[in-house]
Structure 1
């Protein structure tokens, strides 16, 4: 019996477009209107905003480019290598492509509202392959290496690749899940150390008023 999107259950009479992949023991899935509607519960492609298509054996993006208003997309843990249909998704802000077979990012250069991009676990071997993203002025978060899942890209073995990314994309706030040096975790730690020093310092002197508690430089949970 055919299974629903990502193994969520039977599809009934709806069909998926499948093909047998040369390198896959299972079947490769094409994204179809039926798959998208079944996975989101929406009746039209234009109304789909937040599809989750993780681990669905997807190899071809099919009609995904027809989801004109799509904003958030999880395509992680599939078999995707070609991103062509994503070029039409002008409203896309968050994209997770981790654990796929992507080696070319050219179509993403048209996703001008993209803010967060996860590419960990793909086949990107050179920083040159990222130059097509330099016009994405809204991009704040870029992930090429995930130490928790051990997903990587070949370019991550280059020395100081994070520093090179920071130079290429000065608007980035996080790289590989870490705040960019100088305005994130290191600055927070410095302020925290200063707070601790000020809080532990004694009042001294002969005054009768107790010393006022030092105010934190950063809010809790910054």
Structure 2
């Protein structure tokens, strides 16, 4: 493997804009065709954000020294495992879309030590840039069991997803339990005889009677208005 595929401290200084790697907090090394990290990050102990997207990395050997890392971007590489991240206790966000991660159980096992991981992206929210492991039926459930702090998976809030699922379940249950009204009795049982003289009204029938009374009153007012208009027209000069 050519030496120019390996990250060096010289590259870190050049792209970090900081003469001392120990002072770096953010570092962008995307699109450099890196295949190995080597010892290039050895002095980046204060690094909080690391962008390694669009390289040729098959593993992350060398990233474990960045114990302060909070955000790691490794989308569009050739990763098959997440080894070497176990020591990243502060890691909060990991973007690893468009890699070669095959086994969701292996992914979960590798990431389990990252107890602070709250946001994980293994595919885009529209389903593109997916790793092969995303097709597993147990994909989301396996990752959620392994990562108790996980709040966002593939750009979607897990809390909102849970709330939506609960709402769908409640709506489905209500639809099953609800009795459909008869086609000819949409205003309630006994609507037609709700206002019969001397008949005791149930609450539903009482409501129906009020609706009928309101309708009758409105009809009478309309008829009166029409009659008044006709009379006025009849008195107008021809």
> What is the aligned counterpart of 1:33 among 5, 9, 12?
9
Specify every segment of 5 or more residues in structure 2 that has no aligned partner in the other structure, as ranges: 168-238
2-side partners of 1:161 and 1:189: how far apart? 17
**1:119 has 2:100 as partner:** no
2:32 is matched with 56
Greater helix fraction, Structure 1 or Structure 2:
2
Q: Does the 8 A contact of 2:41 with 2:65 survive in 1?
A: no
Larger radius of gyration: 2
SS at match of 2:62: helix
Specify every segment of 5 or more residues in structure 1 that has no aligned partner in the other structure, as ranges: 1-17, 21-27, 192-222
**1:171 has 2:154 as partner:** no
In the TM superposition, residue 103 of structure 1 has moved relative to its aligned partner by: 1.2
159-168 vs 89-98, greater mean Cα deviation: 159-168
2:69 is matched with 92
Q: Does the 8 A contact of 2:36 with 2:61 survive in 1?
A: no
1-side partners of 2:154 and 2:14: how far apart? 32
1-side partners of 2:29 and 2:126: how far apart? 21
SS at match of 2:35: strand
In the TM superposition, residue 188 of structure 1 has moved relative to its aligned partner by: 8.5
**1:101 has 2:84 as partner:** no
1:42 is matched with 18
TM-score (norm. length: structure 2): 0.63
Aligned length: 165
Relative to 1, partners in 2 of residues 1:184 and 1:88: Cα closer, same or farther, differing over 3 Å? same
TM-score (norm. length: structure 1): 0.67
**What do you get for the CA RMSD once the two structures are aligned?**
2.4
1:67 is matched with 44
Relative to 1, partners in 2 of residues 1:178 and 1:167: Cα closer, same or farther, differing over 3 Å? same
